[in-house]
Structure 1
Amino acid sequence: MRWDLLFDDLEAQLGTGDALERDAEVADRTRRERALLDLQARLLAQTGPGAKPLGVVLGPREVAGRLLDVGPDWALLETGPGRELLVALAAVRAVRGARPGARLPSVVARRFTLGAALRAVSRDRAPVELTDVDGRARTGTVDVVGADHFDLAEHPGDEVRRPGNVTGTVLVPFSAIASVRRL
């Protein structure tokens, strides 16, 4: 009888050790997988049906909206019916209301950068409001988009880009962009 109790005790200890080792391995693998997730993957999980509004902190201001899409260095927020805001992820200081989870982007989505999004805005020739990381707003039309910057022809937002309406041109590095909104 004593031997049975001894073997039962040893078996229980071994089982407990195996369970603890398994739990530690699962926790370690979970930490490693989470360490590979970037902001794009976390924000992609906040899009789609049933997406809740988020608060996106951009320097001195916070913008509320529902995430429509996310690229490797930008996010598109719907801030009201028909009002979309292109946000540079480098300008994001915090996101309020994000739920847990992540969704990996497609290969195409990983390549559609802020420059590509700004080139699409430039093709439309629509007036925009640019807000920089310091909170300063400018209006005009995106003229030329380079690898890491663009030219903004400044003019009042309620006027079309015509030589007589342009008050100046400003070169804007992507790193200075907080958000761009079509007017």
Structure 2
Amino acid sequence: MMSTTHHYAVFETARGFCAMAWAGNGIAGFRLPGEAAEETRGAMRRRLPSAIEAEPSVWIGQVIERVRTYFVGDEADFSDLVLDLSGQTDLYRRIYDATRRLGWGKATTYGALAGELDLGPAGAWTIGQAMAKNPIPLILPCHRVLAAGGKLGGFSAPGGTVSKQRMLELEGLPSVEASPAQQSFDF
């Protein structure tokens, strides 16, 4: 089996430093904004240890501009982008495909998404696991998937649920409450 070479770039947005990784077959990784470029770079290296930092191609440069547009609060659509999900299971690819259909300012719940995909009794948990392992957050909009009752649920990106709430607010969605457990652990 031939190995794919991944490249990545770190770039600044209105909300902090992001990183995007790509290979010949699409976008393979994304890091939501962090406070420092070096922290963001380190996170991308941990996710894709063999990736090489590089200047973005024209195509990746255009995607970076969409990300910058998003983080100033202007509508941005990522649903047309080619993604490299080769390291994901078929089930996770189905979940991520369904998640991509959630456009700007739209949200659903883990349970509703599980029902749409006919995943059975443990479906909401499975959706939560897929969201937690999302290699391309924002572009695969896991922030738009909420817990039961419209609660925030978890968010494993920098800033935790505070970041998730801010992203939802950027899209014009009303404030969502964190559950008491999330508040007490400062997720």
With structure 1 as the length reference, what TM-score do the two structures score? 0.29
Give 1 or 2: higher helix fraction: 2
Larger Rg: 1
Give 1 or 2: higher strand fraction: 1
